[in-house]
Amino acid sequence: MNEDRKIHVHGVCFDNVTMGEALDEACALIMERRSAYVVTPNPEIVMMCRKDPEAAEAVKDAALTLPDGIGVIYASRILKTPLKEKVGGCDFSLLLMERLAQGAGSVFLLGAKPGVAEAARDRLSARFPGLRVVGTHDGYFTDDAPILAEINAQKPDLLLVCLGAPKQEKWMRRNASALNTGLMIGAGGSLDVYAGTVKRAPKLMCDLGLEWLYRLYREPRRLGRMMVLPKFLLEVIFKPEKREK
């Protein structure tokens, strides 16, 4: 990976790429078939990494670290090392599956509540007829071994790991060497969106970086989690992270 394109934001090293550049890189990683993985930290995950060394190591070892959240973009501007653009995990994963569909590529969907991955499979298959959804499994499991065997039997080009942060990042790092996949993406709640069980903000709000406000309106219980954003930006301003040399 080209270190010249890395941008440090409060202890996490992001790849300074556009959505198109990230997709090109992901396609190249799939061709390598080394079970590399992609993480998409938002401010909440960045703050997690400061308190959880294992999560920080999992993010550090990712082949691609993409900025999912307007807060990360604002922070990079505050630090005078601006990232090119937000590359949200939900959109990134969807666009990558669209590319895979053009060549009859395959994906395995892992995570969310029982039934959600199957609903996402049906909707994705209808949207991208060329995409092969070769397996699904919910996120409620305690033993990795049967899941790994199920995934490896299908040898998917892409594995979406939607277990929530930082569980999904740790899971990908822990199991990468035991998996036969092209690429993994830690995609958080994306399966709920693909399944239609969670409604995304209108495109205009997403474009304006206000998706967080829409989610708060839809789910007021998220207020406590949303308070991480101002804390994150204040720490970026008043407690700048020293870069490793």
Domain ranges in the chain are: 3-235
Longest dimension (CA), the chain: 50
pLDDT recorded at residue 230:
82
- Is 63's pLDDT higher than 70? yes
Say how far apart CA 25 and CA 27 lie, in whole Å. Answer: 5
Distance CA 41, CA 208 (A): 19
Count of beta carbons in the 10 Å neighbourhood of residue 202: 12
Lowest mean pLDDT among 6-20, 23-37, 41-55, 205-219: 205-219
Query: How many other C-beta atoms can be found within 10 angstroms of the C-beta atom of residue 190?
Result: 26
Residue 18 pLDDT greater than 70, yes or no: yes
Pure H helices in 52-88: 53-60, 70-78
The separation between the first and the last C-alpha atoms of the chain, rounded to the nearest angstrom, is 16
Over residues 155-174, mean pLDDT: 98
> Tell me, what's the pLDDT at 243?
47
Phi then psi for 123, rounded to 5 degrees?
A: -70, -40
Q: Check the CA dihedral 108-113-114-116 and report its sign.
A: negative
CB 191 within 8 A of CB 116: yes
Q: Kind of pairing, strands 132-137 and 12-15?
A: unpaired
pLDDT of 244 higher than 50: no
Per-residue pLDDT of 178-223, as tens digits, reads 999 999 999 999 999 999 998 877 777 776 666 766 766 677 766 5
Among 38-52, 112-126, 220-234, where is mean pLDDT lowest?
Answer: 220-234
**Tens digit of each residue's pLDDT (9 = 90 or more) over 80-104:** 999 999 999 999 999 999 999 999 9
> Would the pLDDT of 229 be above 90?
no
**Chain centroid to CA 48: how far?**
15
Q: Residue 66 and residue 61: Cα distance in Å, rounded?
A: 13
Cα distance between residue 8 and residue 119, in whole Å:
38
pTM beyond 0.75: the answer is yes
Mean pLDDT confidence for 25-49: 96
